Structure 1
């Protein structure tokens, strides 16, 4: 059974990114359809998969992480506008029976991702 999961690591402070708003969208051409909005838990993970089973279909998706709001909430002083604010990651699911794990490593000045396991 396929599933989509994520987690966030705050690389500036060496800890999980807790309480970060995460939005998931399905993409079709220029159309974006909202699928889910959630918050990361104390471990920087979502409490359940973002999609799983029949809900995960082949196609293109976008995850939007509200990283700038997270850093502001923990008291990080950054200039306005924020250099890293909302991080949008677009990715494809080619095999809906597989586990797609899309982590975000983020600081107020940079971010990266990869396909995890």
Structure 2
């Protein structure tokens, strides 16, 4: 069985640069409600300095990554009125290897995919 982990990065597609300083929080979705697992800020490469989940801390289940893009775009002098927090819900299974969930965003739109 392949060990599993979770990482992310954020790209600012409006300016064509890595999005530095975006707060990324990871929530585990439980019956009683979401539980905050960890929170990071992206570095100059648009990545978090550490994985959101390591192989040691990985637990299968439903999670939500929340990206605070509104404050990022506001700090860059862009209209941040449309997108504030982008939430991406993912289901993670054990033995599926490395999960990488990038966010490509502008003040007006976003996309994601399962990266490598």
TM-score bin, normalised by smaller chain: over 0.9
RMSD over aligned CA atoms reads: 1.3
Which consecutive residues of structure 2, in runs of 5 or more, have no partner in the other structure?
none
Q: Distance in 1 between matches of 2:27 and 2:41?
A: 15
Give the 4+ runs in structure 1 shifted more than 6 A. none
After superposition, the C-alpha distances for 1:28-82 in whole angstroms (9 at most, x for unaligned) are 2351000101100000000011111231111000010000100001111x26xx1
Q: Distance in 1 between matches of 2:14 and 2:59?
A: 34
Aligned to 2:70, the other structure's residue is in SS state: helix
Q: Which one of 53, 73, 76 corresponds to residue 75 of structure 2?
A: 73
- Asked whether the 8 Å contact 1:21–1:65 carries over to 2, the reply is yes
Aligned to 1:25: 27
